[in-house]
Amino acid sequence: MTTYSSRQEVPEKEKWNLADIYPTLEDWQKDVQYIEQAAENLKKFDGNIHDGKSLLAYLTESEKVSYKFGKVFAYGMLHVDLDTRDTASQSLQDKAKQLGVKVNAATSFFMPFLLGLEESTLKAYMEEEEGLQYFEKDLRDAYRYKAHVLSKEKEEVLSQLGEALSAPSHTYGMLNNADIKFGEVTKDNGEKVELTRGMYAKLIEDTDRNKRKEAYKAYYQPYVHLKNSIASTLGAAIKNNVTVSRLRNYSSALEKALFADNVPKEVYDNLISTTKQNIAPLHKYAEIRKDRLGLDELRQYDLSVPLVEGVEKEISFDEAYETMLNALRPLGEDYINTLASFKDARYIDVRETPGKRSGAYNMGVYGVHPYVLLNHRDNIDGLFTLAHEMGHAMHSHYSHETQPQNTARYSIFVAEVASTVNEVLLINYLLNKETDEKLRQYLLNHFIDKFKGTLFTQVMFGEFEKITHELAEKGESLNEKVFSEVYEKLFREYNGDEIVFDEEVKYGWSRIPHFYRPFYVYKYATGFASAVHIANRILDGDAQTQASYLEFLKSGSSEYPLDLLKKTGVDLTTPEPVENALKQFSELVEEFAKAPTK
């Protein structure tokens, strides 16, 4: 395993080249000065847009500022993430953030102005100024919100209440990130230490059941202790969301959440009902887990430990990249050649070094190229993370190369499709070529657990959000008892009767930050199901799906997410894509069940 004690030790070819954004710091500073001046100029349009010409002038200048700000912000953020301890980099990011506040303040007048226009007036502006056609989709998108925008006075009141309305989420964040102290766990030498989140993630996968149990109890201890306080923050967040949805004339909080992506409520309901109709294989997997672990009873702290031990396969970064390229060949020559070029062009920061941001991500910088941050480990998990993030990078590359700036950024609704298609193609490739039975078992287990976490668990969370918001909409009280009853019932429905419940299980709702960003997690599940559907068709040799999928990657946000997916053969208004994904899950579980355990 390659480890580095400093960034200087990392080979140049495995480090980002940030000079592609700005060759020098002086070039960055020039754009900062430009944006500062341009923000002042944008303010002058407030009250001075009276015709198509002035509207076009504002939109053109605003887009230019947005383009430069994107580069300025990326340059600062990417520098910080390479070494979060570096104060010079922090000052770049701070300056970019301050600039963002200035730009937002300078342009805040525009949306109320636009929605105050009569549609006939906007139409006249469009007809008189040909250049406005470029911005037509943006303008029409904004106009969809007209029925949900209040009078100027009410909008001002809501704006002033913004901080108060977000207080429950902020309070939970402080509790969860700053104040919570986990219980103690025992180190190998017998010493007692306070559990951290990083330790928990490792210990809950430990083969020693006593260690798992101790970590589980210690992790849940503060959540159980604070259950009433956390129920108060979550209840308030849900009620605030319901109240704002009513004030803005939405029929429900769910409808408000789906509005931006133009997704009908049926898609959400269909995801839940189809998943629950096909839940039996997940229950069977719990039975297999109990059997493979040799347990008399299966508990929640037994659900994360890998079922196949001792698989340590070292895969260098170069070998991982080559394996990924081979696995993705069904996507065609252009995809493979483009992806191959990213490695030597230094789009990827590969290695973990002191101070570097943890995890992995892709950031598409419009007008430059994608930047991918990794903390690469030379193992199978590292290979999967690479394939996942390069899926995002290729989505950014194709969309940015094909689309104009205003439709180049893709929606979060479709973001996980490109990354998961790569993972499905990779697992298929590895399973087809792998002859070592133990490694095959490890790969199956890996993919089954990925399926469970990305689809089943997120759908369960989505149903929890739906039920609790509907209770609030009926005027019923929300408290610890209500949340725990709803969560426990759902956990049992999804995970089956094989699991023996510890007291902590029902408090699972208290540790999920996503619940403060309502009706968001379902997108993980729809994206995953869509990707499985697309990847399996491509693997079946469906040339039309392969071609339409590449078009999808080039489409950015040129159409609404459901319309873009329909072009690839995925219609989420029907049960078919989710059913197909769940069918594959069932097949994976069947194959895993049949394999020899020794």
pLDDT computed for residue 1 by the predictor: 47
| 3-state class (DSSP) for residue 6 | coil
80 in any annotated domain: yes
515 in any annotated domain: no
What distance lies between CA 549 and its chain's CA centroid? 20
CATH number, position 62: 1.20.140.70
Task: Please tell me the pTM assigned to this model.
Answer: 0.91
Residue 416 and residue 447 in contact, taking contact as beta carbons nearer than 8 Å: no
Residue 452 DSSP class:
I
Total domain count for the chain? 1
Can you name the residues that pair with 362 across neighbouring β-strands?
A: 372
Annotated catalytic residue within 40, 214, 266, 389? 389
103 in any annotated domain: yes
pLDDT computed for residue 470 by the predictor: 98
- Consecutive H or E run containing 469: helix 457-473
φ, ψ for residue 432, nearest 5 deg: -70, -30
CA 268/CA 252 separation, integer angstroms:
13
440 in any annotated domain: no
408 in any annotated domain: no
- Consecutive H or E run containing 527: helix 522-539
In sequence order, which residues have a C-beta less than 8 Å from that of residue 104 and are 6 or more positions away?
A: none
Residue 389 a catalytic site member: yes
351 in any annotated domain: no
Identify the domain containing residue 54 by its residue range. Answer: 7-149
61 in any annotated domain: yes
Long-range pairs for 539-543: beta carbons < 8 A, 24 or more residues apart: 539/330, 539/425, 539/428
Sort strands 361-364 and 348-349 into parallel, antiparallel or unpaired: unpaired
pLDDT computed for residue 124 by the predictor: 94
**What is the crossing angle of helices 265-277 and 522-539, to 10°?**
70
pLDDT computed for residue 72 by the predictor: 97
Residue 430 and residue 327 in contact, taking contact as beta carbons nearer than 8 Å: yes
47 in any annotated domain: yes
CA 243/CA 265 separation, integer angstroms:
19
Q: Give the dihedral of Cα atoms 454, 457, 463, 464; nearest 10 deg.
A: -130
| pLDDT per residue as tens, the chain (598 positions) | 466 888 999 999 999 999 999 999 999 999 999 999 999 999 999 999 999 999 999 999 999 999 999 999 999 999 999 998 889 999 999 999 999 989 988 898 898 899 888 889 999 999 999 999 999 988 988 888 988 988 778 887 887 888 889 999 999 989 988 889 999 999 989 999 999 888 898 899 999 999 999 999 999 999 999 999 999 999 999 999 999 999 999 999 999 999 999 999 999 999 999 999 999 999 999 999 999 999 999 999 999 999 998 777 889 999 999 999 999 999 999 999 999 999 999 999 999 998 888 889 999 999 999 999 999 999 888 999 999 999 999 999 999 999 999 999 999 999 999 999 999 999 999 999 988 888 999 999 999 999 999 999 999 999 999 999 999 999 999 999 999 999 999 999 999 999 999 999 999 999 999 999 999 999 999 999 999 999 999 999 999 999 999 999 999 999 999 999 999 999 999 999 999 999 999 999 999 998 766 5
